[in-house]
Amino acid sequence: KEKHKILHQLLQNST
Amino acid sequence: SHLLLTDPAPLAANHDDSTNESSLSTLLTLCDLLNRELLVLIGWAKQIPGFSGLSLVDQMSLLQSGWMEALLVGVAWRSQGTLGEELVFAGNLRLDEAQCRSAGLADLYEALRHLTIKYQMMRLSPEEAAALKAVALANSDVDPVDCPDSLQRFQDGLHEALLDYEASRREQHRAGRLLMSLPLLRQTAHRAVQTLLRLQHQHRIPLHKLLLEMLDAKA
């Protein structure tokens, strides 16, 4: 999942 | 109720004025809208009851697999009220067949009209559109599933909400009919993704990083 950094970040952000 | 309350307000297109070529400008406008819709969709997905109970890996997989289906429910929903044969990508971005054709989107137009007409005939309600969007994400058939039990609970919860809603309207067959529209939705989304990939190769349309990431998962 390394390639999908933006999605990963968006899902981890609480807001 | 929760899905409706959290359903994002429709976005407006930011018309691209970097080129005089109208078909290219249409494509750039559309891709920018798509990218922003995608951001909003991801934010919305996190609020669907049960979604945050999934593992992060499954949340990512579902979105990577079902994002286009979820977004196209919105396009079909917005387009069902039009008298003409336009596709309503946004209130200020309505494309008819000729405009789609000249932008290289003839096949997408045809597929999306098919889907729109189906929902138009059913007179899809806002509740049903929101439920379908959530179901499309939950049912995106990812493989492998990291935590099958959580995913099953997530799907069951949405199914139950849809059944409850239709029971309250005393519409015995509607839930089934909506679920039976899912194959067409998937087929249409597949066409849309193929169209985007083709445009990206042919015209070298600059796509936003998030959109590229999501397409990459599909390629």
Tens-digit pLDDT profile for residues B23-38: 889 999 999 999 999 9
Place of tokens 């193929």: B194
Distance from CA of A9 to the nearest CA of B (A): 10
- The tens digit of pLDDT for each residue in A1-15 reads 467 899 999 999 864
Tokens at B100, concatenated: 């789609």
A–B CB contacts, 8 A cutoff, strictly below: 33
Q: Residue A7: list chain B partners with CB under 8 A.
A: 42, 60, 63-64, 210, 213-214
Choice among B10-24, B149-163, B185-199 with the minimum mean pLDDT: B10-24
Rg, Å, chain A Cα set: 7
pLDDT, position B172: 86
Tokens at B22, concatenated: 């109208």
Q: What is the mean pLDDT of residues B159-176?
A: 94
Phi, psi of B95 (to 5 degrees): -120, 130
Instruction: Give yes or no for residue B171 having a pLDDT over 90.
Output: no
How far, in Å, CA of B85 to CA of B22, rounded? 20
Place of tokens 């080129």: B19
Choice among A3-12, B34-43, B116-125, B150-159 with the minimum mean pLDDT: A3-12
- Would you list which residues of chain A are within 8 Å, Cβ to Cβ, of chain B? 1, 3-8, 10-12
Tokens at B2, concatenated: 């929760």
At B90, is the secondary structure helix, strand, or coil?
A: strand
Q: Residue A6: list chain B partners with CB under 8 A.
A: 209-210, 213
How far, in Å, CA of B155 to CA of B106, rounded? 34
Contact B215, B189 (CB under 8 A): no
